[in-house]
Structure 1
């Protein structure tokens, strides 16, 4: 029995993550329902690579959509392969458009659900709070948002993040005041309101967001045309359809305050929006509820997805989460943990069911080993430097041992007493006749 571990439901979808949604859609269309279960673990640490989605088959773990698709194909001996009937140019289209959707779609999801302060605090953060347990509900969402900000930094749309925009304005204003570019009478100008900031953000980002959404949506609608699926009409979908559903369902379905992504999809490419709605109904059924995922198939109502109840969180797991968080916040331990994850990922790569070749897997493993060796050398160099500095301070008398200092004082007192003008009678304390 295959176990698919994913981030839990949100926005009436079976997952809050586009890669998880794409993998769920693929397994729904390719794998018989009795051959797999869906687990909303919402915990990346269940996988050796520390990422979701993750497919488990006994002791074997496979992460990421494309790797899982390749593994399912190999595991079923081509029987569970949505792309089996495509050859030549169709396969080239699947590969090219899949990479295109993953790169551009991820950036738009990042901007809409994470970078945008409006959407993050009103919708995304509460959604994570519903599927995560303590302490992950306070630890993971900020980390995910930070990663999204980092991925989208090159787009120049940080104005969607009101906190970053306000901090930048304060820094620029402080620098201008220090340089004497702002009159003293204007220094105490009141802070802008949230409404005014939102208005400026919308105006400054409008054209750039329009360009980004058109760059993704318009080629996909052109490829879809009037067909039922991207590469066929009346036949089953391909892995490209599953991937597009994963990303565009998070663009179309979530009810968020700043709905520029959904509005762009509906107004610019209405056929593509209708396609996403129809495929969503085919793969996920009706709106997914939290109790569906966390109660599993123990409920009396039939569920369109093979949910399995996730394991209960115990004290040991909570303690492990806290320790891991502390370790990730400690520079040296963080490097060790990242290196260990890279080594585990390299060991788990199977060239037969992975996007990496055997030579690439070997290169990743050698890089992980070299990185750990460099880390040991750095630690040894720092330790040697500290030891040398401490030795130098001892040698020059800057640091002394308390016992030696007291012994020296006692000897000095004796020398003074003996070398002075006192008589032997005074020193010995007895009369001498």
Structure 2
């Protein structure tokens, strides 16, 4: 059976807009024969039972996340599709350590570059998702991804890249000052800030943090690569390892996209010229020489010669649209959203590389959160019941009944003129 790899679709001349999807595509393009798999730009996490992309489908079996996909391919092929089979024990340890390093640090920088930086998100990233997604996902998913990226990078202290949030905060402060009578209402507002202006005005702090983040990511990989063809193997004719595929996912999104404010690409070219050349070389090997366009994923016959076996995704069904809308409604409902969040947490822990003790701790935390939510529901129901009891106690309902009886008595006191003649009325 032909394996199917479902991913987020093409963007920025790359076959996917997501780093993990790019890593999975790179691994399959190197490890698998071209006739053994198909690449589908579904761009919809709901196609997978786990609700995540990338997702590998083999009949009724679904596997999501890059590490799980690599493990499944190794077991499915009895080691024939294992890119790490040539590594010794020391290299395997380096592979594991640097893979975790690339996934954590690289994803943070991609989040900052494509999502947190307002110029890039609104001018490049958001339109790219608009070209990939169908209704209603084109209105639902980008804000969710934007918010998740901002939450993941909030601890890095570079929120100044999010100019929209800064502008909204400034307007709130302005409105509060107007309400307090501190400034006249007709005061002309300052023009919107720019990224260069912010980084220039607070340059010492913001620029230092950006320099430190990019140096901490690029320089170790540059030193590890050295003059080698790949990060772990020595000869160019050797096969890349899974670490090279993981690195390509983040590095290609740092180097290739043409963005409104390409600070990450500029830092990579300046700090890691060998790594930049390595990324371009590996990108051509895995994704082909020609830039990947969205049309290639939806109309594979229009794509030039490529190592990627594109297959057009199926049309979205009415049932899928309804499921998406119901899921969004559930996520917007307080109690239902908490239940779904706890279920996703337990599922993520079950699919992760955590130990059994850690998985048990996460499961206990999710169950505890669910119990707390049930207590909150019971408290809310009890509050409503107490309110209804209070209404009975003070007689609000009985007052309504008395008013109804008074109206009935008034109706009974009005004579029925329908059965009286004119003589009866005049007393004749």
Distance (whole Å) between structure 1 residues aligned to residue 121 and residue 309 of structure 2:
30
Equivalent runs, 1:35-184 vs 2, <5 Å? 35-172=36-173, 184=183
Which residue number in structure 1 is paired with residue 195 of structure 2? Answer: 198
Segment drifting more, 337-346 vs 314-323: 337-346
Distance (whole Å) between structure 2 residues aligned to residue 53 and residue 41 of structure 1:
10
Alignment check: 8 A CA contact 1:4 1:54 kept: yes
Give a deviation string over 1:286-320, Cα, whole Å, max 9, x none.
21121211123x45854320111111013332232
Segment drifting more, 132-141 vs 299-308: 299-308
Query: CA 1:335/1:24 → structure 2, altered by over 3 Å: closer, same or farther?
Result: same
Give a deviation string over 1:388-425, Cα, whole Å, max 9, x none.
331133123244374476459989xx9xxxxxxxxxxx
What is the root-mean-square deviation of aligned Cα atoms in Å?
2.7
Distance (whole Å) between structure 2 residues aligned to residue 265 and residue 384 of structure 1:
59
Counterpart check, 1:338 vs 2:341 = yes
Which of 353, 356, 364 aligns to 1:355? It is 353
Give a deviation string over 1:215-268, Cα, whole Å, max 9, x none.
100000000000000111221111110011000100000000101111111111
Deviation, structure 1 residue 12: 0.7
Which residue number in structure 2 is paired with residue 290 of structure 1? Answer: 294
Q: Which runs of 5+ in 1 are unaligned?
A: 415-433
Distance (whole Å) between structure 1 residues aligned to residue 104 and residue 304 of structure 2:
38
Q: Which runs of 5+ in 2 are unaligned?
A: 413-428
Equivalent runs, 1:349-428 vs 2, <5 Å? 349=351, 355-361=353-359, 364-365=362-363, 367-400=365-398, 402-403=400-401, 406=404
Alignment check: 8 A CA contact 1:38 1:307 kept: yes
Deviation, structure 1 residue 102: 0.9
Alignment check: 8 A CA contact 2:83 2:240 kept: yes
Which residue number in structure 1 is paired with residue 265 of structure 2? Answer: 262
Query: CA 1:98/1:47 → structure 2, altered by over 3 Å: closer, same or farther?
Result: same
Deviation, structure 1 residue 155: 1.4
- TM-score, normalising length: structure 1: 0.85
Give a deviation string over 1:63-90, Cα, whole Å, max 9, x none.
2111211222222222211112213221
Which of 236, 240, 246 aligns to 2:239? It is 236
Deviation, structure 1 residue 7: 0.4
Count of residue correspondences = 404
Deviation, structure 1 residue 362: 5.1
